[in-house]
Amino acid sequence: MQGFEVLSGLAWQDLFFDIADVIWAFLPESRYEDLLFKIYDSIDSSGYYFPNFFQNLFLHSLIEFRRYFVDEEIRKGYFFLTFFINEDRENYQRIFRNVDAADRVRLVSFAVMNKI
């Protein structure tokens, strides 16, 4: 995860996405939670919000990661609340366009139940 911390910095984001396919090839599903936590913690602790970074990460991610994201979001709700606070419709749209219909229903139900 140290590589993520370095490459996710604003100045390194282009390089991060240049090698994203390689990262997905070697990142086991057991580390998806760590990756999501690092992203959330970076946003939370830095005071900066990087919507394009998250959009590009989600767009370049594997289907398995997208499904894992949906499961984690329903359990913890970190990102949708962050998107809501930042009035970020684009991230919502990017997610909804890139998950299957069943996951869209689950996410909408979660958002409605939590008044997001």
pLDDT of 1 strictly over 70: no
Per residue in 2-33, pLDDT (tens digit) is: 555 544 555 666 777 777 778 888 889 999 99
Overall domain count for the chain: 1
Per residue in 46-61, pLDDT (tens digit) is: 777 777 888 888 888 9
Domain containing 25: what range?
1-114
Q: Are 97 and 104 in contact (CB under 8 A)?
A: no
Residues 6+ apart with CB under 8 A from 38: 1, 4, 5, 8
C-alpha 56/C-alpha 53 separation (Å) is 5
User: Which H helix or E strand runs over 7?
Assistant: helix 2-7
Q: What is the mean pLDDT of the chain?
A: 83
